Amino acid sequence: MDESGSLDRPDGDGAPVHRTVRIQDVAKLADVSTATVSRALASPEKVSPEARARVLEAIAKTGYVPNPAARSLRSQKTYMVLVVLPDLSNTFFSKILRGVEERLFEAGYGMIISDLDGSPEKEAHFAAFTSAGRVDGAILLNGHLFGQTRDGEGTAVKIGIPLVALCEAIPSADIPQIEIDNRAAASRMTQHLASLGHRSIAYVSGPAHNILEKERFLGYQDGLKAAGLSFDPALVLPGDYTIESGVRAGQDLVARAKRPTAVFCTSDEMAIGLMRTLLSAGLRVPDDISVAGFDDIEFAAVAEPALTTIRQPRRELGRAAASVLIDLLQGRPSPKRIRLETELVIRDSVAPPQNIEKAPAKSTRRSAMKPT
């Protein structure tokens, strides 16, 4: 567009120059070589204090910022990290992303986001993007390597950079995994429901081949067993973590003659969609049926009734993944697996089943329905 260039380059006291300041300009002003300037920035200990001071002053005076393209071309580093995720618009991910960005920023890395959106085309693009060296490393939230399915089928595209799996572990890959103990958490929730007296606890699943789903499902079964309850396949309802699938599961339940007294949904979205359907059909939560979620998204606390759920430390998960990747990028040793603690958050959507009704434990539960 504007190729006029050099015009706006006064050679008076070069303060408000428009053309980019180069390392040479700094070097000249500080009366050292470009090598010294570069070193003063990259490895200060290799430069005499006096020289460094002059360089820093010159940098301050000129407002010099290293050209990242040049730096990257020469040093083969981009100070950029790719974050791959299946759906950017999902509330659950955005909080995690925040943790990632935060930590990356602290370490001087930028974050590039790739929202795969289920498109193999996009995936291929980003695989190329990645191997083309546009980023130093990547954090995978999508549960599989480039070019593979979730089950590890297909040959993983050979990516020559460090990778980290976040949330959805990738068992077939030899890369660090940052996650929660989904199995234990699901077991805990199931036992919580059982401990209140529920003997018929339904389970709304995630997508079939999802590793989170597999783990949580095992946890559900663990929990039943620990509580001495038997597993009933009829109580497993298919879902995919979306609000809509929660609504569908709710419709299924409503249509049943014999309903469970509690439903454990493996995502808050599903729990909210399900509750909504139950309420619309005239069922009361938790009086007629208890509903539990998973994740503790923002809206869980203001759902009606407020949702009992499992809290995942989302921001910390993001930060941890970023930290591990940074360690990797900087050649430091890093743990192969990090498991962060979850928390059982008890709110109003779960209560003992009606037949063993006791005094309602929690605060404002359902008070809206019975104006005193």
The residues binding DNA (CB under 7 A) are 20-24, 31-39, 41-42, 45-48, 50-52, 64, 66-67, 70-71, 73-75
78 contact, one of DNA, its own copies, none, CB 5-8 Å limit per kind: its own copies
**Shortest Å distance, C-beta 210 to DNA:** 38
Of 161 and 324, the one with the shorter C-beta distance to DNA is 161
**Shortest Å distance, C-beta 128 to its own copies:** 5
Residue numbers at the binding site for its own copies (CB under 8 A): 1, 18, 20, 65-70, 72-73, 78, 80, 88-91, 93-95, 97-98, 101-102, 105, 110-115, 117, 122, 125, 128-129, 131-134, 160, 243, 247, 272-273, 275-276, 278-284, 298-299, 301-304, 306, 331, 364, 367-372
149 contact, one of DNA, its own copies, none, CB 5-8 Å limit per kind: none
Long-range contacts of 18-27 (CB under 8 A, 24+ apart): 20/67, 21/62, 21/63, 21/64, 21/65, 22/64, 22/67, 23/64, 23/66, 25/62, 25/64, 26/55, 26/58, 26/59, 26/62, 26/64, 27/58
Q: How far apart are CA 203 and CA 18, in angstroms?
A: 63
153 contact, one of its own copies, DNA, none, CB 5-8 Å limit per kind: none
**Shortest Å distance, C-beta 334 to its own copies:** 13
Tracing tokens 């989170």 back to the chain, one arrives at: 212
Of 93 and 294, the one with the shorter C-beta distance to its own copies is 93
**Shortest Å distance, C-beta 58 to DNA:** 12
331 contact, one of its own copies, DNA, none, CB 5-8 Å limit per kind: its own copies
4 contact, one of its own copies, DNA, none, CB 5-8 Å limit per kind: none
39 contact, one of DNA, its own copies, none, CB 5-8 Å limit per kind: DNA
Q: How far apart are CA 234 and CA 309, in angstroms?
A: 23
Of 105 and 231, the one with the shorter C-beta distance to its own copies is 105
Tell me, what amino acid is at 303?
A
**Shortest Å distance, C-beta 138 to DNA:** 20
Show Cβ contacts of residue 214 under 8 Å, excluding neighbours closer than 6 positions: none
DSSP calls for 298-325:
GGGTTSSSPPBEEE--HHHHHHHHHHHH
251 contact, one of its own copies, DNA, none, CB 5-8 Å limit per kind: none
Of 55 and 180, the one with the shorter C-beta distance to DNA is 55
Tracing tokens 């599989």 back to the chain, one arrives at: 144
CA angle 123, 128, 129 (to 5 degrees): 90
* DSSP for residue 16: S
**Shortest Å distance, C-beta 71 to DNA:** 4
36 contact, one of its own copies, DNA, none, CB 5-8 Å limit per kind: DNA
Q: How far apart are CA 79 and CA 338, in angstroms?
A: 24
Query: Which ranges of the chain does DSSP label H, i.e. alpha helix?
Result: 23-30, 34-42, 49-62, 68-75, 91-106, 120-131, 182-195, 211-226, 243-255, 268-280, 314-329
Q: How far apart are CA 72 and CA 66, in angstroms?
A: 10
**Shortest Å distance, C-beta 145 to DNA:** 24
**Shortest Å distance, C-beta 54 to its own copies:** 21
Task: Output the CA–CA distances (angstroms, integers) from residue 115 to 245, 268, 350, in the order listed.
Answer: 22, 22, 35
| SS3 (DSSP) at 159 | coil
